[in-house]
Structure 1
Amino acid sequence: MSTTTHRSKKRYLQLILILGSLTALGPFSIDMYLPGFSGIATDLNTTVAKVALTLSSYFIGISAGQLLYGPLLDRYGRKKPLFIGLMVYILASLGCAFVTDIDTFIGLRFIQAVGSCAATVASISMVRDLFEVKEIPKVLSMLMLVVGLSPMLAPTVGGYVTDAFGWHVVFLILMVIGILILLAAHFGLPHTYEPDTTISLKPKPIILNFWSVIREPQFYTYAFTGAIAFSGLFTYVAASPILFMDIFEVDAKTYGWIFAFMSLSFIGGSQLNSLLLRKFTSEQMIFGALITQSVISSCFLVLAMSDLLGLYETIAMLFMFLVCLGIANPNTAALTLAPFKRNAGSASALMGAIQLGLGAVASFAVGTFLTDTMVPMVVIMAVSSITALLVLTVGKRNIAAKV
């Protein structure tokens, strides 16, 4: 291997690691404090259900914030909005560490989310800037490998930190992670996009720009297919503390290990996707994954309603469900962004906002209805899987009609 090739491969891996870290910041911030839910409820004189609202407020913040950063990333380039967002995240994380009441905590989690989603939108926009369209599904699968490590590490580390030092320290660790990512992005990422001064930041042109993106049949087909299917993951994340710690009565450390094991499904699915893309197209991969996901979630629902599932059977069903998401997600994201070059930031932001907005609805719904049975969680998973398949089937006709 020549020195140049070695250097370019090293640079490629460095880019993947930094972009993956940016993408993983949001999931890490969602997952790391989950084992502390009971402790937070006790310390803040509230219920676990009320603490779950901090998860919903995070999803709402990360969804709304995406729409804010999309036009900013196209107007000012990728780095300035990214650094401002990371500073907001760092300060909000510090605030969360010293919070004394649940309402302030819910508000700070919203602000923390608005900061973190700058990282998510910037990283996906940079993927579109740096790589050819045909490379993007493979690059996104590699990012999913980095992102997939966060739900493996975050709840496990969070469980031990919460057990040893209390849940407050989790947010100090998140603050330090934010600082490290900011430094890595500053020194390790190139300027991938020249600021476009023709892009207006007035409300009307921004809305018209988003409207031009969402009217593209390929965008709305794959964005909504991916987002509806992916809401199953948010449903699982929001339900998991109640499902495992309340219904199955495992402790915080065991919950962390279960969550870590479950994330192997998503990582495995995204890496299996990289291999299968050598033989199949992204369109075929999405269709196959959604059919399988619909069958699995329907079987899961029948078994849950018949009360035939213990802890291990539940883990097995969830594992298979999440493998399908790991396969579908990089492909829906790549096909959603494929038509856009000039306003990739806005397209990436809109895609993320749709995905996380539906995730917020799903997590709020499961937090409201899940008490002493897993059935509400599985109903949402089954409905989302079948609906995503229907949206894909109808949308593909519209794409074909436009062509």
Structure 2
Amino acid sequence: MSIASQAKETTSGSRLWMVLVLGLLASFGPLSLDMYLPALPVIAGDLHTTTSLTQMSLTACMLGLSLGQLIAGSVSDVRGRRMPLMVGLLIYGVASALCMVAPSIWAFLILRFVQGMAGAAGIVISRAIVRDMYEGVALTKFFALLMLVNGSAPILAPIIGGQLLHFTSWRGVFLVLSLIGVVMFIIVVIGLKETHPPERRSKGGLTNTLRIFRGLLTDRLFMGYALTQGLVFAGMFAYISGSPFVLQDIFDVSPQMFSSIFAVNGAGVILAGQITGRLAGKVSNHRLLAGGLAIAVLGGLLLLVATLSGAGLILILPAFFLIVACIGPVSVSTSSLALQNQGQTAGSAAALLGLMTFVIGGLVAPLVGLGGSQTAVPLGIIIAVMELGGVLCFVFLTREKA
């Protein structure tokens, strides 16, 4: 089935269903990273470990998400989208259940890595499926629609996690994640068609896979968008890793209030993403991305000023909002721009795009805890550097699209 006919079918008959399913699959990153955030300080005490090691559980999951995307994305180009997606969802359910009974921080870190690898299938293959069906402005608009669903995950995940802590321990959070994996497996088996038929698949073999990745890595424009997205997302991951300790340990915010603050910031992602979708076709993707980067830099510099001056929540909270909200236009625009010319190899391209995001984010996340849980200065410095780095990649690597 051609791209045009698939797009027509989803528009007339099952567009909403595809938005819901693909949006939920793309949400495995924020679900895995955000739902247990309110419990991070509790986990540190329960597993008798340090703040920095507890934050390493975020890094372990991010690194798993990175490697898993490379594997699932390239396999889906060769074998089709459904099978690697179903395998990933099954493993995710099992790994999440095992996290629930982890006896030590080291076992927890290993299981978080496996959980991330498995959940990565949902993220990368959902992107590839969208590229299978759409191109051009329609691709940008559909990515914006997905933001309605996967943008809700960062809002709902910490709220659910915070409320679960009223009734259970942090281990119960991972039981819920396990159930989500099982439910999504059933949904994919029953209600998701194959969008990458045999005639459009890449030839198998390690040599061909390496050739594809080499071509992407040497594509200056693709890497410009991938690095821009990766650095801006790294700023958000630093926020995810550091904000529970900054807000709860320094400013004595309760887990439930932290969840509410996190939800408000997440709403900014949805709002900004929908504005981007509405402007698509009227304003170039390149300009939309520039606008998102302007928001990112403003938020990063405001946070840096707030942490260095000790201004408190009156500046920190608006800065956090901008740092998170910019993900809407940056994610939608970079995803569309990076995947426009990657039809047959959409899975591998989406994987490399995700790799930049989670590798850089995974390396940055534990750094925000190096100063201990009673200072926010490292967080402010790291986020400002990441946002400025994203702008530099955009300016110097994507100039030919200006």
Root mean square deviation of aligned Cα: 1.9
Where does residue 139 of structure 2 map in the other structure?
A: 136
Change (3 A) 1:205 1:6: closer
Shift of 1:298: 2.0
Q: What number of residue pairs does the alignment pair up?
A: 394
Change (3 A) 1:313 1:14: same
Shift of 1:399: 5.8
Where does residue 4 of structure 2 map in the other structure?
A: none
Written as runs of structure 1 = structure 2, the 5 A alignment for 1:161-180 is 161-180=164-183
Instruction: Give, as a single letter, the amino acid of the residue that structure 2 aligns with 1:138.
Output: K
State which of 37, 41, 49 in structure 2 corresponds to 1:38. 41
State which of 318, 324, 327 in structure 2 corresponds to 1:325. 327
Contact (CA 8 Å) 1:67, 1:349: kept in 2 or not?
Answer: yes
Mapped partners of 1:206, 1:278: distance in 2: 34
Instruction: Give, as a single letter, the amino acid of the residue that structure 2 aligns with 1:354.
Output: M
Written as runs of structure 1 = structure 2, the 5 A alignment for 1:1-400 is 8-9=11-12, 11-195=14-198, 199-202=203-206, 204-308=207-311, 310-369=312-371, 371-397=373-399
Q: Which runs of 5+ in 2 are unaligned?
A: 1-7
Question: The residue matched to 1:381 in structure 2 has which SS?
Answer: helix
Instruction: Give, as a single letter, the amino acid of the residue that structure 2 aligns with 1:240.
Output: S
Structure 1 residues 276-296: Cα deviation after superposition (integer angstroms, max 9, x where no partner): 225311101111221342234
Contact (CA 8 Å) 2:226, 2:353: kept in 1 or not?
Answer: yes
Mapped partners of 2:356, 2:43: distance in 1: 30
Identity over aligned pairs, percent: 32
Q: Which runs of 4+ in 1 moved over 4 A?
A: 5-10
Instruction: Give, as a single letter, the amino acid of the residue that structure 1 aligns with 2:204.
Output: S
Query: So what's the TM-score if we normalise by structure 2?
Result: 0.93
Mapped partners of 1:345, 1:271: distance in 2: 25
Shift of 1:370: 5.1
Instruction: Give, as a single letter, the amino acid of the residue that structure 2 aligns with 1:358.
Output: I
Instruction: Give, as a single letter, the amino acid of the residue that structure 1 aligns with 2:258.
Output: Y
Query: So what's the TM-score if we normalise by structure 1?
Result: 0.93
Mapped partners of 2:302, 2:155: distance in 1: 26
Structure 1 residues 246-297: Cα deviation after superposition (integer angstroms, max 9, x where no partner): 1111121111111111111111111121222253111011112213422342
Mapped partners of 2:10, 2:345: distance in 1: 31
Mapped partners of 1:319, 1:140: distance in 2: 21
Question: The residue matched to 2:344 in structure 1 has which SS?
Answer: coil
Mapped partners of 1:238, 1:38: distance in 2: 11
Shift of 1:59: 0.6
Mapped partners of 2:41, 2:304: distance in 1: 28
